[in-house]
Structure 1
């Protein structure tokens, strides 16, 4: 190994010899550490890179000395940045649904997980996102995730430029067309309930307006069978909303009710079920089998809301039932409030 001498502290260029494709190596000093034998400081040296020509090695070393950087940061992969960011307070303070969205977006970038983060640029990111074949909405979520990762990387001098802001995700303005289930379609669900017990979960959402996540988070302790009410759904400033149990689904709730378990709708092991698992294992297969496919579970909530709205129910009462945030709705439930909610819910007929 032949060494080309340079000024002290400048770095070194070596010819590694042999029949190598890139025989010229460049080493630089990246720090100092104490020598346990001598007690003196000694240099910590790392390879800057390997080059085909000596001129290329000289140019790389000169460029490095113009603006020395932490070589170790250049090796950090996208998945490393994501894992580090997930341990920050910025990530930990996010809602569970937002964390899940970021996790799904990260999984979409599987082909880039082992790429050095500092090597990513606009063109590379655009290709990676386009190759996922995702909708503009999902691409936007991926872009948001990358934006957070770049903010983290900039903060710790891993990169100097945020390329995520230049990503084109396409048109996200198009809205999903929600369907409203008809009387005949809902009757088909009731008629097949004995064939598949999980149809009860679909009927439950149709008669409560619950989101799928709200249904799966409903705990046994929050169900009052005596007064036929449930405390659950979207959280407000004062807690969870109180919702009457429609007379049509009282038996469904009672059949599911078991004080030995924490959740009303649960896994076979009795644990909390994720929304994704519910859709894949139960909702999608049932709706496909009955030829009732739509755009997703939210169609049930949309059906409930549209039907309730057709009864000209008091706006404040409907907002309470649906869990819509609004300044004119307080979180205090009186006996009259609950009676009004029960009266409104019982109007529902499909």
Structure 2
């Protein structure tokens, strides 16, 4: 009986040679580790070719390792073993992932774990890389990447470019994990993210009386919602997901019919506070609430971001106004001051903490008093 042939074991992480079953012209398969299974942790191996002898397969692995680790250049490797090198390169290029393929994996395993806003930011970053989506990861060069970043330096902020650089780093990391490239091939360290972009900043300012009148005249759903914010002084996110049980319309309090909202976030003084509803916006509250269980269920997932993007900013652009969402709260405070409302009543409605602890803790303002006070606001 012939003695079983044994071969010297290769060093760890240097690949392995296995003999395939059956009668084959090239029975020896050279395999390298191409990553690890995310669940089991086991090595994922891929073949770099089959050979007639164990020695040829072993030499192929050595050649592959030397060239991939940049110990020798591709030209030197080709000069040593032209046929073996050509076979290795054909397999390497065939399995080499593109930027788009690497991003699709990152999107599932990394990007989708974040909030909707962060996901949009990463998708915007990926869109900036459109020019290299179909590039094989090993074909990317620093000049190519830098050209892309330079093309956006006067269009987006430094923070946005920095986010894009983070995404590029994640793409390279994914390629390293997959065994497509080595750590030495990661080019992100050298990408410059300097930016000359200067964003036009809108400063906080109250709506003028003429602008408030323009919102009333517009009479759209968006304008009505903005007016509700102006006449309640509520923060943008305080009303969007407000449950129906917190909206009290036409209730009898102290022998008087009143309407009010119980809302509030952020501070102890601001939570669960009573916000009286001004008569001019009561029809709008009734209309928007309708028979729904929440005031604005559309905004349940990303309330502030969706309101700002889809409602507020679009309305400001359409009506040629220049404001930020929080300006409605500033406007409420200004209207209260112009109409000489009681300062402690205004603080209570807006959820501000009193410096006078006696008034803050021991003065119990009735709902009817708050309601009467808010009706003093006149804009026409």
Q: Same fold (TM over 0.5)?
A: yes
C-alpha distance after superposition, 1:270-312 (max 9, x if no partner) = 99798887677655554344322x2x6xx13135247638969
User: Does residue 290 of the first structure (1) align with residue 314 of the second (2)?
Assistant: no
229 and 209 in structure 1: CA distance in 2 versus 1, 3 angstrom threshold: closer
Structure 1 length-normalised TM: 0.57
Give the Cα–Cα distance (whole angstroms) in 2 for the partners of residues 216 and 118 of structure 1. 51
- The within-5 A match list for 1:125-274 is 125-132=145-152, 134-136=155-157, 137-153=159-175, 158-160=181-183, 161-163=186-188, 166-171=191-196, 176-180=201-205, 181-193=207-219, 196-207=220-231, 208-211=233-236, 214=237, 218-221=241-244, 223-225=246-248, 228-231=260-263, 241-242=271-272, 244-248=274-278, 249-259=281-291, 261=292, 263-265=294-296
Offset, 1:185: 0.9
SS in 1 for 2:134: coil
Aligned-pair RMSD on alpha carbons?
A: 5.5
TM value normalised by structure 2: 0.54
Distance 1:61 1:343 in 2: 89
Gaps of 5+ in 1: 1-28, 323-333
Cross-structure match for 2:140: 120
SS at 1:86 equivalent: helix
Shift of 1:188: 1.1
Cα offsets for 1:79-107 (capped at 9, x unmatched): 2332222333x545533322222222222
Distance of aligned partners of 1:291 and 1:74 in 2 relative to their CA distance in 1, 3 Å threshold: same
Distance 1:165 1:313 in 2: 57
Matched residue, 1:83? 104
Deviation at 1:349, TM superposition (A): 7.5
Residue by residue over 1:179-215, the C-alpha shift from the partner in whole angstroms, topping out at 9 and shown as x without a partner, is: 523221122101221xx2321122234444544xx37
Q: Is the 8 A contact 1:263 1:271 kept in 2?
A: no
The corresponding residue for 2:333 is 308
Change in Cα spacing, 1:231 to 1:146, as seen in structure 2 (3 Å) is: farther
Q: Distance in 1 between matches of 2:102 and 2:295?
A: 38
Q: How far, CA to CA, are the matches of 1:253 and 1:335 in structure 2?
A: 32
Secondary structure (helix, strand or coil) at the match of 1:87 reads helix
Determine helix, strand or coil for the equivalent of 2:100: helix
C-alpha distance in 2, partners of 1:162/1:100? Answer: 25
- 2: CA distance between counterparts of 1:318 and 1:153? 57
- 2:125 pairs with 1:105: yes
After superposition, the C-alpha distances for 1:221-255 in whole angstroms (9 at most, x for unaligned) are: 57432673355767x9x9x9546445233332221
Give per-residue Cα distances to partners, 1:36-56, cap 9 Å, x unaligned.
64698644554889xxxx967
Q: Judging changes above 3 Å, is the alpha-carbon distance between structure 1 residues 177 and 115 closer, same or farther for their aligned structure 2 residues?
A: same
SS at match of 1:198: helix
Residues 156 and 75 (structure 1 numbering): CA distance in 2 closer, same or farther, change over 3 Å?
closer
CA–CA distance in structure 2, aligned partners of residues 56 and 105 of structure 1: 38
- Equivalent residues in 2 for 1:53-68, closer than 5 Å: 58-59=78-79
Q: What is the distance in 2 between the residues matched to 1:290 and 1:83?
A: 40
CA separation of 1:274 and 1:242: change in aligned 2, threshold 3 A? closer
Q: Deviations over 1:155-186 (max 9, x none)?
A: 66645235156322315786723252322112
Q: Does the Cα contact within 8 Å between 1:126 and 1:167 map onto a contact in 2?
A: yes
The structure-2 alpha-carbon separation of the partners of 1:173 and 1:61, relative to structure 1 and needing over 3 Å to count, comes to farther
CA offset at residue 216 of structure 1?
8.8
Distance 2:229 2:127 in 1: 30
Looking at structure 1, the residues matched to 162 and 273 of structure 2 have their Cα atoms a distance apart, in angstroms, of 35
